[in-house]
Structure 1
Amino acid sequence: MSGHGAPSLTIDASGAKVAIVASSWHTTVMDGLIAGAQLALADARASQVDLVRTAGSFELPLVAKTCAQQGYDAVVALGVVIRGGTPHFDYVCAAATDGLSRVALETGVPVGFGLLTCDTEEQALDRAGLADSKEDKGREAAEAALATWATLSALRG
């Protein structure tokens, strides 16, 4: 879900246990992403919300998978990777993205994708859900995880 054209979601997540798995790099951006996710989960009345921190974005998939295996109904993965002068950016972004997709497919637990992959810090700040931001990707990732949880719950009966 992204910016213009994003759906407006209203989800009742009563009974849902959700883990927010968040990297530790880029504190200001991460604080905004986490706050947005927490607000969305509170608005949806999720029964339990736990914040689990990782060293960086590369570590998100393993920690997300462990949360999924520990009984969380949904996981919201939040991180920031900002392009530098080496291919490191490409490797971390690809590994984290692929890993988070595999977590959802292998466990059947929804994973909200809140990994910002930006060229500049300004782009990340614009998406962090801060007072001056244009978008709130933390909120969007939480809403996506909850919407998928609700859909899967209905399909599974």
Structure 2
Amino acid sequence: MEVPESVTVPKGNDVAMETVGVGKIKWACEAKDDGTMGWVFKGPDAALNDADGKQVGKYYGPPATWESMDGSKITGTQLAVEPNGKGNIPLQLVEANPAEGEGHMQGVTYVQRLNTQGGAAPEMACDDAHKDKVEIVMYQADYLFYKAM
């Protein structure tokens, strides 16, 4: 897969860990800031698995948190997103905050989300009749964790 420039990790960083996130995203039908009704992102809940399918961490929020099974974890600031087709959450580039705890997340500089499948806001109507309705949407995505070289 060719990675769009907007979500490309800056030079000087190398992949330290590759995982596949498998889980769900919670959406709620609520009034948005502009007063219109719409689906509002409420957060992820996913297992982070290695290439053999073994769980090595988890991804949850808010705030978006990637946590290794060794207890180390990071949050971050979203730098960019790129659409990835109907029904899929966007590709994403996040700059990591300093890690909490010692372990695999120590020194992570960026998190890149690629190969997204599913997870987008529900297609069903979000109006006064559906106010406060919560929908869970399954998804999968690759999460690549980078460290400075």
If the length of structure 2 is used for normalisation, what is the TM-score?
A: 0.29
Q: Compare the two structures and name the one with the higher helix fraction.
A: 1
Please say which structure displays the higher CA radius of gyration: 2
Q: Compare the two structures and name the one with the higher strand fraction.
A: 2
